[in-house]
């Protein structure tokens, strides 16, 4: 174990590395480096890693979290989009032969192939990352939709996005993002994180969320793609009833009668709003609409 004085996530060591390499933060990449050991330990602990498991990190920055992952996991792959950080990462992570640094955009990376190559010898893999906030949702949806062999995803993200992911039906935060995340995983908030633990400080509050990836979805859906279309349609205009939103999307030319019959079949009052429907109700509804020949 390295002496704790040498750990990357301290203000002194972070500034030293940045200055020595002449690194400047790029706003467009949402770069905020963590400088708090305590928060890093919480993130790693939430992932439940051990020497039989692997970790995929996205946006490692200067390697503060990567170093902690390397001390716990058998294999760590860090995907970094910023070419300027690659030599820094190679230098600070040199003591850890089990770490691979992959230069690229995770949204354009063939993750299934990366898993086969880098995680062939581990039992389970977690994604553990301090995600850049401007692409949080596309990254998480890619990880979930590609049905990668993941145990869990533990990420630091914007607090309000974390709250939306973990929201229950009938709350103001509940929406299509809540449903998509909960279809693929079980979300729980690990902790709220103050702005002061980053260099530079972000403009928003942060939170660590853990998504425990489900073996299979909690509901029976006949067509996943159509299910998500129905969900998105239901939230198209939040103030409107489920009946009005679905009519706009699926029955623009007809009267309301057929839609109300189908809602009745699904056991859903037409006057309800999308944000009151549970995952199960959306599944039932999309199966009924699909069965009626809607597309």
Q: Is there a binding annotation on residue 293? A: no
Closest CA to 11 of 191, 196, 202, 207: 196
- Residue 38 parent element (H or E): helix 37-47
Q: What is the DSSP string of 74-135?
A: SEEEEEE--GGGHHHHHHHTTT-TTEEEEES-GGGS-HHHHHHHHSTT-SEEEEEEE--GGG
Q: Whose CA is closest to 68, among 95, 41, 97?
A: 41
Question: Is 130 marked as a binding-site residue?
Answer: yes
Beta bridge partner(s), residue 99: 76
Q: How far apart are the first and last CA of the chain?
A: 57
3-state helix, strand, coil in the chain (%, to 5): 45, 20, 35
User: Strands 99-103, 75-80: parallel, antiparallel or unpaired by DSSP?
Assistant: parallel
34 is in an annotated binding site: yes
- 260 labelled binding-site residue: no
Please name the residues in contact with 137: beta carbons below 8 A apart, sequence gap of 6 or more. Answer: 161, 177
Take residue 112 and report the two structure tokens written for it: 């299934």
**HSE-up of residue 152 (Cα within 13 Å, Cβ side):** 19
- In three-state form (DSSP H/G/I as H, E/B as E, the rest C), the secondary structure along 123-192 is CEEEEEEECCHHHHHHHHHHHHHCCCCEEEEEEEEEHHHHHHHCCCCCCCCCCHHHHHHHHHEEEEEEEE
Is 203 known to sit in a ligand binding site? Answer: no
Query: Per the annotation, does 59 bind a ligand?
Result: yes
Task: Give the whole-angstrom CA distance, residue 25 versus residue 27.
Answer: 6
Known binding-site residues equal: 32, 34, 59, 80, 105, 130
Known binding-site residues for S-adenosyl-L-methionine equal: 32, 34, 59, 80, 105, 130
């Amino acid at each position: 174990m390295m002496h704790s004085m040498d750990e990357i996530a301290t203000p002194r060591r972070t500034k030293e590395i940045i200055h020595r390499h002449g690194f400047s933060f790029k706003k467009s990449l949402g770069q905020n480096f963590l400088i708090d050991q305590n928060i890093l330990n919480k993130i790693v602990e939430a992932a439940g890693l051990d020497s039989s498991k692997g970790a995929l990190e996205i946006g490692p920055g200067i390697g503060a979290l990567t170093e902690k992952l390397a001390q716990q996991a058998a294999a760590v792959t860090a995907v970094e989009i910023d070419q300027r950080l690659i030599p820094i990462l190679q230098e600070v992570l040199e003591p850890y032969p089990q770490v691979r640094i992959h230069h690229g955009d995770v949204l354009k990376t063939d993750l299934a192939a990366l898993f086969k190559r880098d995680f062939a010898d581990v039992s389970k893999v977690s994604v553990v990352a301090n995600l850049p906030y401007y692409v949080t949702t596309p990254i998480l949806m890619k990880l979930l939709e590609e049905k990668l062999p993941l145990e869990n995803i533990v990420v630091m993200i914007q607090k309000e996005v974390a709250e939306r992911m973990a929201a229950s039906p009938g709350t103001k935060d509940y929406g299509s993002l809540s449903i998509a995340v909960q279809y693929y995983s079980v979300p729980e908030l690990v902790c709220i994180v103050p702005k002061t633990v980053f260099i530079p400080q972000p403009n928003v509050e942060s939170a660590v969320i853990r998504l425990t990836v489900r073996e299979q979805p909690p509901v029976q859906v006949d067509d996943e793609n159509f299910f998500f279309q129905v969900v998105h349609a239901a939230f198209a205009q939040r103030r409107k009833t489920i009946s009005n939103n679905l009519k706009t999307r699926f029955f623009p030319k007809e009267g309301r009668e057929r839609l109300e019959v189908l809602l009745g079949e699904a056991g859903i009052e037409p006057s309800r709003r999308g944000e009151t429907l549970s995952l199960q109700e959306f599944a039932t509804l999309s199966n009924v609409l699909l069965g009626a020949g809607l597309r």
